Amino acid sequence: MSARAVSEATFQAEVLDSEKPVLVDFWAEWCGPCRMVSPILDQIAAENADKLDIVKVNVDENPQLAAQFQITSIPALKVFKAGEVAKTIIGAKPKAALEADLAAFL
């Protein structure tokens, strides 16, 4: 299972109303580090599907979400729990470092 795309239209239902923690990857097509971290997030999503949902928000296609969550650099990863931002991770990292950052949710 890989990270699925969400938009301004589906963000409330898919992220804020989710019973599980949700990691949101704010990214863009032109962003090299975003493309590097994407397969790592897909692996983490597949290995932890029962504990954590992982979704992607394209900041170029969803500028209001990017503004709402003050995304100033990408990739920006935000973990939402009970509709609130519980953790923010900025920049691409190797899988082990991401798993360490996400340990509380995995």
pTM for the full model? 0.96
pLDDT for residue 38: 95
- Which stretches within 1-106 are classed as H helix? 11, 32-47, 63-68, 95-101
Query: Would residue 40 show up in a list of annotated catalytic residues for this protein?
Result: no
Mean pLDDT of the chain: 96
Domain ranges of the chain: 4-103
Given the residues 3, 31, 54, 89, the one annotated as active site: 31
Neighbours of 32 (CB within 10 A): 9
Residue 31 falls in the annotated catalytic set = yes
Q: Looking at domain 4-103, which of 3.20.20.80, 3.30.2350.10, 3.40.30.10, 3.30.70.3450 is its CATH number?
A: 3.40.30.10
Q: Helices (DSSP H) in 1-103: which residue ranges?
A: 11, 32-47, 63-68, 95-101
Per-residue pLDDT tens for 67-88? 999 999 999 999 999 999 999 9
From 23, 24, 34, 74, active-site residue? 34
